[in-house]
């Protein structure tokens, strides 16, 4: 099974080009590229909107997804409005205490999709996660969430915008008997982090990538792409496919 993971779209209003980036064009190009690889599932990992949730932006994204025809799932990020997103995508009946989290079984693996739109993992989700970890035993658990569950060596993001309760969530995952693999975004970098039984794969943004060493916000590069995740007979492999940089002509 091939899964495509895209995150941190930061789609702005029509005619807006934040940091001189045509984010709408980038999203369309990524969709066209990943479609050629024929994934069975597309996961949108949050921050669909540029600064805050927008009905018009969600509608535009939904229309483009339906045009591509690939089955998709999505989770919110800190620049999304979970309630509004649920309304536009017809997910209102799936909300739990205002949050959107759920599970799927894919290729014999349990996969969780979590909601960190308020920059933390809520108490009800932690209880849910503890139950899923216990049920997994010595097996494997996959998780999609917007924030990395641990600090990840990206100075600006670790300092300013980490998962607020990573000190609790990270050890919970790393010290579990289960082998836990997390796919996330938020940090606008490509990076892998290992801690105990936890593996974290951070997918780069469709927008811009952040300088990992900078003490304040700085753009590292404007390359963009998507993550390929293949589940095949007990083997998981993943890689990032980059698409050439695009600049808007003035």
The confidence score (pLDDT) of residue 234 equals 83
Beta-ladder partners of 37: none
Q: What whole-number distance in Å separates Cα of residue 242 and Cα of residue 94?
A: 33
What is the residue extent of each domain of the chain?
A: 2-243
Yes or no: domain 2-243 corresponds to CATH 3.10.450.50:
no
Of the candidate ranges 139-153, 167-181, 219-233, the one whose mean pLDDT is the lowest:
219-233
Burial profile 100-113: b = 16 or more Cβ within 10 angstroms, e = fewer: bbeeeeeeebbbbb
Q: What whole-number distance in Å separates Cα of residue 248 and Cα of residue 145?
A: 31
Q: SS3 breakdown of the chain: % helix, strand, coil, rounded to 5? A: 30, 30, 45
pLDDT tens digit sequence for 102-159: 999 999 899 999 999 999 999 999 999 999 999 999 999 999 999 999 999 999 999 9
pLDDT tens digit sequence for 18-56: 999 999 999 999 999 999 999 999 999 999 999 999 999
Q: What whole-number distance in Å separates Cα of residue 70 and Cα of residue 232?
A: 20
Whole-prediction pTM value?
A: 0.95
């Amino acid at each position: 099974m091939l899964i495509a993971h895209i995150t941190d779209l930061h789609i702005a209003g029509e005619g807006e080009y934040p940091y001189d980036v045509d984010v709408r064009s980038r999203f369309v190009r990524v969709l066209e590229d990943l479609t050629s690889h024929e994934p069975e599932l597309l996961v949108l990992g949050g921050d669909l909107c540029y600064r805050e949730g927008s009905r018009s932006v969600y509608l535009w994204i939904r229309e483009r997804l339906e045009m591509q025809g690939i089955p998709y799932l999505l989770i919110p990020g800190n620049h999304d409005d979970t309630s509004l997103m649920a309304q536009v995508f017809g997910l209102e009946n799936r909300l739990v205490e205002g949050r959107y989290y759920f599970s799927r079984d894919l290729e014999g693996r349990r996969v969780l999709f979590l909601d960190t739109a308020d920059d933390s993992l809520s108490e009800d989700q932690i209880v849910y996660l503890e139950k899923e970890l216990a049920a997994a035993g010595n097996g494997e658990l996959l998780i999609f969430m917007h924030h990395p569950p641990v600090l990840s060596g990206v100075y600006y993001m670790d300092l300013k915008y980490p998962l607020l309760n990573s000190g609790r969530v990270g050890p919970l995952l790393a010290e579990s008997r289960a082998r836990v693999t997390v796919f996330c975004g938020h940090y606008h970098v490509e990076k892998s982090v290992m801690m105990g039984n936890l593996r974290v794969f951070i997918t780069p943004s469709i927008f811009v990538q952040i300088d990992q060493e900078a003490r304040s916000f700085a753009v590292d590069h404007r390359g963009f792409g998507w993550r390929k995740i293949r589940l095949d007979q007990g083997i998981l492999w993943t890689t990032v496919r980059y698409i050439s940089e695009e600049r808007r002509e003035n």
